[in-house]
């Protein structure tokens, strides 16, 4: 019974409504007096719950010879509530992006600060912040991002970047190219529309973690040995210097096939 109560609670039903539904489902149609005895809930309390019961979709009421008879609705009615919850969750997810933009922009105000992230969810947040870039995004990549997030997140991220017309340039090494080939051997994803890549050898410049630069932000990410973390640094001088380092490396890197996204 505890599992049923927990499940119904997650759908928004009170403990009393759940108890009354269980009593009606197990004992069949009942009057309020009968329902009070079978459920253990006081009759006056049930009277106060009648509107909630009938609007819940779980209980139906019929009049029999001037008496109200309550009966359990089909359990399949729960699907209506599930659909409603899915719709509410979709609206919350849609609104989150806008709210996150509002609070992020007001919190930063061009002040120098740093933000540390850890784990897969932290990695996703870093990339989502990147999708709000107002300038070209410059990346030095050790591995592709798909294998560290997941396919659905990657596709949502790509769509947002493409919708915003963000341009990317990436410098990659053999490790990135290897993880990219492994991923696309078994996956087919949406790809960045504005992506250019160049390759640099280990002899010229060893890449052992990923770096991202955009606007006034520099990001360092490490995904090796199961320890996934990232550090965002918000400082215009540091970002400008990192951008110059990138251009120096870009000029010595070798062009490669630019049809694959990061």
**In angstroms, rounded to a whole number, what is the distance separating the alpha carbons of residues 18 and 25?**
10
Q: Domain containing 217 — which CATH number?
A: 3.30.870.10
Question: Are 117 and 62 part of one and the same domain?
Answer: no
pLDDT at 94: 77
pLDDT at 258: 55
**Cβ-Cβ contacts under 8 Å for 260 (sequence gap 6 or more):** 180, 184, 191, 195, 197
Question: Are 175 and 241 part of one and the same domain?
Answer: yes
Question: Are 140 and 183 part of one and the same domain?
Answer: yes
Question: Are 69 and 117 part of one and the same domain?
Answer: no
Query: Per the domain annotation, does 26 fall within a domain?
Result: yes
Question: Are 147 and 240 part of one and the same domain?
Answer: yes
Query: Per the domain annotation, does 62 fall within a domain?
Result: yes
Last residue of a domain, one of 37, 58, 78: 78
Contact 62, 51 (CB under 8 A): no
Q: How many domains does the chain have?
A: 2
Question: Are 180 and 65 part of one and the same domain?
Answer: no
Question: Are 132 and 234 part of one and the same domain?
Answer: yes
Query: Per the domain annotation, does 260 fall within a domain?
Result: no
Question: Are 68 and 116 part of one and the same domain?
Answer: no
Question: Are 248 and 132 part of one and the same domain?
Answer: yes
DSSP structure class, residue 30: B
pLDDT at 262: 46
**Cβ-Cβ contacts under 8 Å for 50 (sequence gap 6 or more):** 61
pLDDT at 19: 94
Question: Are 74 and 117 part of one and the same domain?
Answer: no
162: Cα within 13 Å, side-chain hemisphere: 12
Q: Domain containing 61 — which CATH number?
A: 1.10.10.10
Query: Per the domain annotation, does 91 fall within a domain?
Result: no
Query: Per the domain annotation, does 180 fall within a domain?
Result: yes
Last residue of a domain, one of 27, 58, 78: 78
Query: Per the domain annotation, does 93 fall within a domain?
Result: no
pLDDT at 105: 59
Query: Per the domain annotation, does 103 fall within a domain?
Result: no
DSSP structure string for 209-253: SEEEEETTEEEEEE-GGG--EEEEEE-HHHHHHHHHHHHHHHHHS
Helix (H) or strand (E) holding 60: strand 59-64
Contact 141, 250 (CB under 8 A): no
**Cβ-Cβ contacts under 8 Å for 105 (sequence gap 6 or more):** none
Last residue of a domain, one of 78, 101, 132: 78
Question: Are 58 and 156 part of one and the same domain?
Answer: no
Residue in 182, 191, 173, 196 with CA at minimum distance from that of residue 147:
182
**Predicted confidence pLDDT, tens digits, the chain (262 residues):** 789 999 888 888 899 999 999 999 999 999 999 999 999 999 999 988 888 888 888 888 888 777 889 999 888 888 888 888 888 888 887 788 777 766 665 555 557 889 999 888 888 999 999 999 999 999 999 888 887 787 788 888 999 999 999 999 999 999 888 888 887 777 776 788 999 999 999 999 999 999 999 999 999 998 776 778 999 999 999 999 999 999 999 999 999 865 544 4
Question: Are 125 and 232 part of one and the same domain?
Answer: yes
* Domain containing residue 37: 2-78
Query: Per the domain annotation, does 176 fall within a domain?
Result: yes
pTM confidence score: 0.59
Contact 73, 58 (CB under 8 A): yes
Greatest distance between any 2 Cα atoms in the chain: 92
Beta-bridge partners for 118 = 229
């Amino acid at each position: 019974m505890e599992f049923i109560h927990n499940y119904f609670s997650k759908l928004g039903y009170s403990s009393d409504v759940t108890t009354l539904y269980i009593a009606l489902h197990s004992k069949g149609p009942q009057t309020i007096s009968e329902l009070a005895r079978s459920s253990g809930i006081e009759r006056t309390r049930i009277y106060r719950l009648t509107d909630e019961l009938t609007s819940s979709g779980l209980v139906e009421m019929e009049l029999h010879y001037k008496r109200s008879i309550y009966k359990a609705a089909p359990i399949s009615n729960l699907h209506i509530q599930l659909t409603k919850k899915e719709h509410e969750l979709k609206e919350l997810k849609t609104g989150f992006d806008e709210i996150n933009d509002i609070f992020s922009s007001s919190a930063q105000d061009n002040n120098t600060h740093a933000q540390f992230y850890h784990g897969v969810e932290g990695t996703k947040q870093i990339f989502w912040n990147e999708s709000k870039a107002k300038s070209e995004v410059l990346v030095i990549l050790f591995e592709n991002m798909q294998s560290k997030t997941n396919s659905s997140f990657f596709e949502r991220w790509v769509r947002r970047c493409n919708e915003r017309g963000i341009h990317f340039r990436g410098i990659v090494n053999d490790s990135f190219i290897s993880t990219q080939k492994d991923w696309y051997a078994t996956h087919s994803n949406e790809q960045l529309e504005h992506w250019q890549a160049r390759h640099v050898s280990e002899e010229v410049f060893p890449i052992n973690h990923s770096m991202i630069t955009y606007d006034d932000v520099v990001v360092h990410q490490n995904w090796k040995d199961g320890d996934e973390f990232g550090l965002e640094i918000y400082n215009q001088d540091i970002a400008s210097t990192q951008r110059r380092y990138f251009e120096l490396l870009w000029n010595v890197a070798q062009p490669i096939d630019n049809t694959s996204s990061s």
